[in-house]
Chains A and B, each alone.
Chain A
């Protein structure tokens, strides 16, 4: 029999015995009860301690290579006082509905949770782990929320129970015992027992209601960088992604959706194609056509031979030029809703000694995860199994159920390793799952693997919004900024447009611009455009004031603030101010996103041809305490490369309502040759833990643009930067002037 303790009002701890001896302990809680913005969803955590003294942490997040599974297990092992060499992880499965859904509902409603732990205990473990899929990876949330609230508490609770069980066996008080390296010790008598030896006894105890967490001074696992659990399988081809799943009798599907978003399939003549070798069938979907065949290449070849007719949903006239014009017109109208209002911007602009204005623009961007969208679906009767790699398995399951016309509990989702997410594999953008489920219906009872071509991926993404901003900044007679006015359009920017700087008069407004082009979250979300906008314009103000770009920013940050410390360290580590060759320059940017503060300094060389080469990037990050410094460093490096690719090359354009780019030849991304030397430094501020996966992205575009200005005097106000000569032409938004 297992037991559940209410762990304050925020959630509860459940514990029980494992078949074969051992302790299982779980935590479930609702983030919205903790005042964390988000859905009405539960997070939870499980740990198993088996008689062989091994610790298995069930992690409720997929790991896209951020090291979050390793990091989460470290947080649990820390509080447990486990021997790290005995710790392993398992990703929690997204199981079909189970008693647990009532558990979640009960918990969210504040009702007492039903006792689900009375049955075979592995059932109970599985039952609760099914909840885990409810949390998505994204928003840099994994380590912050699951780790702080779930893992640490679970580790501390299990530790307390193990100590209590050992103390009982020895007939001593729990207070006279301690734990270290997966052992409980009774110092006065010198007795020791492994966690594994007392796990079964511990499973009979009630979980503690308020387990005590260690102070950071006592940490010895968190803050080190053991090898990540996921790496070894990724070097020998044994890591399995959904695209690698093979089932007996499986068909392969290639799909082409209407080129213009919102378009529908009008007709397709499939007679000839159906006779092509290996072709099983041609399937017509509402807005797409697919070919099912014995092999993927056969499916693709047959698909290319089809000449489907789609309508354009009435959007065939839309082009990037039109979008630019529409967004500019919105800004000119100036009817945005107020995001920030401080002081009196209008009066301050009128009174300023010097006013600077500028327009900025960024294009749509694709995610282009290297593993293209794909899924395997197997429908037999009224049961459906699906294999895919997504950031939110339970949401994917719901999407598949809807598309297959089955109740959710009839759908089992196997989440696989994810070959890149960046926001493409989150809720609301799971069109490929929907397609796969429909094709699974058509193929039933045979399984089918849908793989999007790269062309399908680039042309049918949910893009980072195209956006524009218009700035007016005013300096007083001493060159100090007294007013900041920003109007932006695109998707809502909100917090992302806020400034870390102290400027007395601020007015920031936003206007939503929407059209038929599908947009979605893209690594760092709105910060990706607002970082570029704001940090470029701050640089313009510094230039107008005749001040050094670093000093100008520093003077606007409060003494002793985390922001100032980060900025100063970036200047120091990058050798800010030291002379560079002709044609080279440094640019700095300070951004704040997902609770982390990042300063980046880029050093660029601008060739006489106008080609831009980023040579060196220095990043300083304050994300609170670090769990796994090496994985965090890799995330910042990756974020910088992701942002750099977009800053230099990333551009999705629209012609006749459809995306122009097709593959990596036309949608250019970064390669080895583009990779600068990157140095990452952390400031361990012990502030609340911030995100790490996305926070390296926003600062790199402005740092590069500012460096280009320092190198050659050209101010780049439109991404991508690509080449300076090109953009220095008479583009209408290059008109910034000092009034």
Chain B
């Protein structure tokens, strides 16, 4: 089946089985390997992308159900020249270790902060359920709080 996918602001033509998880379309057909495979079962979040701004585990999204939703992957969140604030905070706080989970982690956090500018620890715990085997969680939390504070400073400043 043929589909037009809106990915990172561009339309891509894809021809594949409608049951194919979006994850593999992004990685294998659209050349966007920043979105990672970690479990294939919706459990780890390494494959998190935004569908119309909502953090979504792309291994659980069949191609046929994507429709016209706007897909944003880590490659579309920011670039080295114009980094997203979450990416900047990640560098400031040196969050990544092996880095494998971080695309998904960053996408999840960016979506969280887009609707909750200053999440509480409980909100962070509920919303960010991505797995990081390197254990970067303390720094992820620190970076989220730093972003929330910086956001406050800008909006009040």
Contacts and interface: CB of A to CB of B under 8 A. Distances in A.
Contacts of B129: 671-673
A673 B128 CA distance: 8
B24 A371 contact: no
B37 A372 contact: yes
B38 A454 contact: yes
B136 interface: yes
B39 interface: yes
A237 B100 contact: no
Interface in B71-85: 73-75, 77-80, 83
A634 B135 CA distance: 9
A673 B125 contact: yes
A638 B135 contact: yes
B35 to A, nearest CB: 7
Contacts of B96: 65, 230-231, 234-235
Contact of A237 (B38, B74, B131): B74
A230 B94 CA distance: 10
A681 interface: no
B94 A231 contact: yes
Contacts of B73: 237
Given A230-B99, A235-B83, A640-B135, A671 B130 contact: yes
B3 interface: no
Contacts of B38: 370-372, 454
A573 to B, nearest CB: 16
Contacts of A672: 124-125, 128-130, 137, 140-141
Q: Which of A235, A369, A422 has the most CB of B within 10 A?
A: A235
A639 B135 contact: yes
A370 B44 contact: yes
A43 to B, nearest CB: 23
A678 B87 CA distance: 23
B137 to A, nearest CB: 3
B55 interface: no
A709 to B, nearest CB: 25
Contacts of A228: 94
Interface in A398-438: 417-422
A664 B137 contact: no
A642 B133 contact: yes
- The CB with the most chain B CB atoms within 10 A, among A277, A370, A677, is that of A370
B40 A453 contact: yes
B20 A236 contact: no
Contact of A64 (B94, B98, B130): B98
A64 B97 CA distance: 7
Interface residues of A, number: 65
A654 interface: no
Given A642-B133, A669-B133, A371 B34 contact: no
B43 interface: yes
B133 A422 contact: yes
B74 A297 contact: no
Contacts, number: 188
Given A370-B38, A665-B43, A236 B137 contact: no
B104 to A, nearest CB: 9
Nearest to B90: A235
Interface in B128-156: 128-141
Contact of A670 (B17, B80, B135): B135
B91 interface: yes
B36 A371 contact: yes
A630 interface: yes
A295 interface: yes
B46 interface: yes
A476 to B, nearest CB: 42
Interface string A350-381: 00000000000000000011111000000000
A239 interface: yes
Interface string A223-234: 000011011111
A337 to B, nearest CB: 35
Interface stretch (A83-91, A185-193, A241-249, A316-324): A241-249
Contact of B34 (A227, A238, A246, A417): A238
B78 A671 contact: no
Interface in B15-41: 16-17, 20-21, 24, 27-29, 31-41
Interface centre among B43, B83, B90, B135 (most CB of A within 10 A): B135
Contact of A65 (B40, B99, B140): B99
Nearest to A677: B138
A731 B64 CA distance: 50
B106 interface: yes
A238 B133 CA distance: 20
A370 B99 CA distance: 9
Nearest to B103: A237
Contact of B24 (A64, A231, A295): A295
Contacts of A565: none
A485 B53 CA distance: 60
Given A236-B74, A236-B79, A634 B24 contact: no
A503 interface: no
A631 B27 CA distance: 31
Contact of B138 (A238, A297, A419, A678): A678
Given A231-B91, A237-B33, A664 B139 contact: no
B56 interface: no
A80 to B, nearest CB: 24
B20 A297 contact: yes
Nearest to B106: A235
Nearest to B63: A297
Interface in A14-68: 64-66
A671 B135 contact: no
A631 B126 CA distance: 28
Contacts of A678: 138
B131 A669 contact: yes
A241 to B, nearest CB: 7
Contact of B102 (A234, A422, A669, A670): A234
B116 to A, nearest CB: 15
Contact of B94 (A298, A634, A642): A634
B136 A235 contact: no
A369 B133 contact: yes
A236 B138 contact: no
A641 B141 CA distance: 14
B97 A638 contact: yes
A296 interface: yes
B101 interface: yes
Q: Which of B37, B44, B133, B140 has the most CB of A within 10 A?
A: B133
A630 B96 CA distance: 12
Interface in A643-679: 644-645, 663-665, 669-675, 677-678
Contacts of B35: 237
Contacts of A296: 24, 28, 37
A674 B41 CA distance: 21
Contacts of B100: 241, 369-371, 419-420
Q: Which 3 A-B pairs have the closest CB atoms?
A: A237-B34, A641-B135, A234-B99
Interface of B: 16-17, 20-21, 24, 27-29, 31-41, 43-44, 46, 73-75, 77-80, 83, 87, 90-91, 94-103, 106, 124-126, 128-141
Interface of A: 64-66, 227-228, 230-241, 243-244, 246, 252, 277, 295-298, 300, 368-372, 417-422, 451, 453-454, 630-631, 634-635, 637-642, 644-645, 663-665, 669-675, 677-678
8 contacts: A227-B91, A235-B91, A237-B33, A237-B103, A241-B100, A243-B33, A370-B36, A637-B139
Given A65-B98, A669-B131, 4 more contacts: A231-B96, A244-B33, A454-B41, A672-B130
